[in-house]
A and B are shown apart, each in its own frame.
Chain A
Amino acid sequence: MKKTKRLTGMLIVSLILLVALAACGGNANNNANNGSSQAGEAGAEKATVTMGFWGTAQDLQIYQAAADAISEQYPNIELKIKQYPSSDQFWNTLPGEIAAGVAPDFIKISNEGSFEYINKGLFAPLDEHIGPSGVDMSRFSESAMDIWKVDGKQYGVPNTAMPAMFFINEDLWKEAGLGEYPKTWDEVEAAAKELTNKDRYGIAINIDAYHITNIAKSYGGDWGNGATINSPENVQALQKIFDMYEEGIAVTPKSLGYGWDGEVFANGKAVMTTGGYWYKGYLKDAAPDLKYVAFPVPEGTTAGSTMIADGYVVLKDAKNKEAALQAAYFMTNDTVLTEFLKLGANPAVPGLSSQYFEENPEFANVQPALEYSTDFAYPAETKRFRDELVNQIESVVLGGVKKSPQEILDGIQEQFK
């Protein structure tokens, strides 16, 4: 009896082992079948294309509706949408997915992080696929196309493009009895002194590359893809930031326990902040009663700010690049772009862009910035650069390290020669 039990036990263990191994094998096969099918080449068979993005639930709704409708224009394509929980998850998961061959076929990304990936060859140049896939790239504005061009090659289908903005809490501004809204950083600094009290700060300056870059550009600075990190203009911009912190009129969200500048602004803990078009959607939910005004980024020595754009890029390992490009192009149709326009994003299609400021009158003041806003021009090792910039500035602002803007930027320049 005891032996029979033992034998049965052995057989059960063997069976479990067999099932476990079979499951591993099955999984590998499933993975291998992931991604786009070769249906495009086969003709009648449907090509399954996967799109990856990170964004809000509203974005997902728009994309899902578009995916359901794609067969009207491209009957041979079945589009699947994959949403990532956050931008961090998206950027950190993607390399592993690419290495494992399970990445989406095309993704929506912003121009803030795209250059590094293009430079590392993770995205496919689209030029050779544009003709055969029959997409009409001439419907996008030239400036929007240029954002996705590297070394003369087109890497992205433009989706939206909008300059950075400067937000002011209208009620708190009026309550403080201040007159005209500031147009320069000196005026911002003077106003911030008036606005700061025990309950709030004059301005929130998030120690984040996006916000720092905007201030640098307003002083005529730029990172020059790594060539001009310690330029006098950038040093001057950083000095202004440090001055405002030293005077106690600026605050970084983290110091107050908030995640980002929008939260500080929505909670009335800062009267002014640099930001972007996404504030509209966020404030609508987070602080529906908050009255705000939006302006271009104030001038330091010149008018300058970043143009934040998003677009669709096809990954280098997408099995059916033409189908992926067609699906990406479909995501820029008038219906989809109009939906995003209502959420505050400015379409990269001139015909629709003209309606943007009618639909979003709160951003009308920002229109002139469309003319002069430019790409981020981060170094090719973008993530490393952004981390280093943030760490160095945090060490001064949050860590009390005594370093001048010149020393900080010289140190970073040394690493990104």
Chain B
Amino acid sequence: MAAYGNENAEMRLNNGKKQSWLRSLADSDLAVGWLFTLPFLVLWAWWFFYPFLQSFIRSFQDANFASLGDAKFIGLQNYVQILNDSEFYRAVIHSLQIVVIAVPLQTILGLIMAILVNQKLKGKGMFRTLFFIPYITSQIAITTVFMMLFKQGTFVTEFFTFFGFDNATWFADTRYALLFVAILFIFQQAGFSMIVYLSALQEVPKDLYEAGQMDGASKWAQFRYITVPYVKPITFFVVSVATILGFQIYDQIAAISRYGALGSPAGATSTVVTYFYQHGIRYMEIGYGSAAVVLFFFIIMIITFLQKKLLDDKG
């Protein structure tokens, strides 16, 4: 009986030790922080880091999908070849053009829409929904509708003739096809920017505007000196996200090129992503395609860094 009692005491002691170990772990902010972050980290590592690492390794190989087992290490040859390919530079320029045209426009448009739907207007809920719908609609569906609208002879192409454009099928014309892609991007992305800006605008303290009004600040001055600085961190977020998505634009181009070569017409809509897809997937040169992706990664990284620096300096 006594021995039995001792056993129980020992078990209680052990349980106590276990509980205190768990409790001390639960007490540690660092451990809890890591544990809560762990699911994301594991999935991120599995779905993003590991594939990127694979791409990085492949970028130094002469690797083909058809015979991955025969991949050979070729050093920087893929990179050298890409940097000597005029098509790559053409693709980079097109990507930059989309970003340079579309990102500022969608940012400004998003902010304007957010300001509008932040007013005390009748039916503002409906407008918020209407502006946001394109963002959650399938890119292919929107592209298909726009392709019908931008056909030669429609009221849309007719309307644009007032601005000096020819009445042509935009996505089949090498002069307008890239602009068509940029318009598609702006149309979709502005809704997202609007929602993000809207949440930021609702955080701006009302008394700042009241103080501004009392000091005689015009509406423009209030916008320039209160709203813009207040939403600056959001602007950085909106611009960064739009830049990355602008560089990654693919679905719209694939839809335009449905029955032709990717980047159609005549490569006028080729971008860095289509360049990668063309080589890495379509031509099965996964080593070469991976090198393009790695270069692309660094291009985006540098541009995002420059954006941050620029916005920080201006602030």
Closest partner residue, chain B, to A16 (CB atom): B39
Shortest A267–chain B CB gap in Å is 12
> Given the complex, which residues of B lie within 8 Å of A402, measured CB to CB?
none
Closest partner residue, chain A, to B157 (CB atom): A257
> Given the complex, which residues of B lie within 8 Å of A394, measured CB to CB?
174, 260-261, 264-266
Report the count of interface residues on A (CB-CB < 8 A). 49
Taking the complex as formed, is B184 at the interface, i.e. its CB lies under 8 A from any CB of chain A?
no
Given A16-B39, A120-B67, A398-B173: A391 touches B283 (CB 8 Å cut-off)? no
Q: In the bound complex, how far is the Cα of B35 from the Cα of A253, in angstroms?
A: 57
Q: In the bound complex, how far is the Cα of B259 from the Cα of A16, in angstroms?
A: 44
Given A10-B32, A88-B258, A254-B260: A383 touches B282 (CB 8 Å cut-off)? yes
Closest partner residue, chain A, to B285 (CB atom): A384
Asked whether, in the complex, the Cβ of A98 is within 8 Å of the Cβ of B65, the reply is yes
Taking the complex as formed, is B151 at the interface, i.e. its CB lies under 8 A from any CB of chain A?
yes
Q: In the bound complex, how far is the Cα of B63 from the Cα of A120, in angstroms?
A: 12
Asked whether, in the complex, the Cβ of A3 is within 8 Å of the Cβ of B26, the reply is yes
Asked whether, in the complex, the Cβ of A259 is within 8 Å of the Cβ of B67, the reply is no
> Given the complex, which residues of A lie within 8 Å of B42, measured CB to CB?
17, 20-21
- Within residues 375 to 415 of chain A, which ones have a CB less than 8 A from any CB in chain B? 381, 383-384, 386-388, 390-392, 394-395, 398-401
> Given the complex, which residues of A lie within 8 Å of B151, measured CB to CB?
256-257
Asked whether, in the complex, the Cβ of B266 is within 8 Å of the Cβ of A95, the reply is no
Given A120-B67, A387-B262, A394-B260: A92 touches B268 (CB 8 Å cut-off)? no
Q: In the bound complex, how far is the Cα of B69 from the Cα of A121, in angstroms?
A: 13
Asked whether, in the complex, the Cβ of A120 is within 8 Å of the Cβ of B260, the reply is no
- Partner of B172 from the list A6, A9, A98, A398 (CB cut-off 8 Å) is A398
Taking the complex as formed, is B43 at the interface, i.e. its CB lies under 8 A from any CB of chain A?
yes
Asked whether, in the complex, the Cβ of A256 is within 8 Å of the Cβ of B169, the reply is yes
> Given the complex, which residues of A lie within 8 Å of B152, measured CB to CB?
255-257
- Partner of A20 from the list B43, B65, B267 (CB cut-off 8 Å) is B43
> Given the complex, which residues of B lie within 8 Å of A390, measured CB to CB?
260-261, 264
Given A99-B68, A381-B283, A384-B283: A254 touches B266 (CB 8 Å cut-off)? no
Asked whether, in the complex, the Cβ of A208 is within 8 Å of the Cβ of B36, the reply is no
Shortest B177–chain A CB gap in Å is 9
Report the count of interface residues on B (CB-CB < 8 A). 47
Taking the complex as formed, is A64 at the interface, i.e. its CB lies under 8 A from any CB of chain B?
no
> Given the complex, which residues of A lie within 8 Å of B64, measured CB to CB?
120
Given A255-B169, A381-B283: A17 touches B66 (CB 8 Å cut-off)? no
Asked whether, in the complex, the Cβ of A10 is within 8 Å of the Cβ of B261, the reply is no
Q: In the bound complex, how far is the Cα of B43 from the Cα of A121, in angstroms?
A: 35
> Given the complex, which residues of A lie within 8 Å of B284, measured CB to CB?
95, 120
- Partner of A7 from the list B22, B148, B259, B260 (CB cut-off 8 Å) is B22
Q: In the bound complex, how far is the Cα of B259 from the Cα of A255, in angstroms?
A: 13
Given A3-B27, A7-B23, A383-B282: A257 touches B148 (CB 8 Å cut-off)? yes
Taking the complex as formed, is B97 at the interface, i.e. its CB lies under 8 A from any CB of chain A?
no
- Within residues 286 to 345 of chain A, which ones have a CB less than 8 A from any CB in chain B? none
> Given the complex, which residues of A lie within 8 Å of B133, measured CB to CB?
none
Taking the complex as formed, is B299 at the interface, i.e. its CB lies under 8 A from any CB of chain A?
no
Asked whether, in the complex, the Cβ of A7 is within 8 Å of the Cβ of B26, the reply is yes
Taking the complex as formed, is B46 at the interface, i.e. its CB lies under 8 A from any CB of chain A?
yes
Asked whether, in the complex, the Cβ of A399 is within 8 Å of the Cβ of B174, the reply is yes
Closest partner residue, chain B, to A21 (CB atom): B42
Closest partner residue, chain A, to B149 (CB atom): A257
Q: In the bound complex, how far is the Cα of B268 from the Cα of A390, in angstroms?
A: 12
Asked whether, in the complex, the Cβ of A260 is within 8 Å of the Cβ of B66, the reply is no
Chain B 224-264 near chain A by CB (<8 Å), digits 1 or 0 = 00000000000000000000000000000000001111111
Taking the complex as formed, is B300 at the interface, i.e. its CB lies under 8 A from any CB of chain A?
no
Shortest B66–chain A CB gap in Å is 4
7 contacts between A and B (CB under 8 A): A14-B35, A257-B151, A257-B152, A390-B264, A391-B263, A398-B174, A399-B175
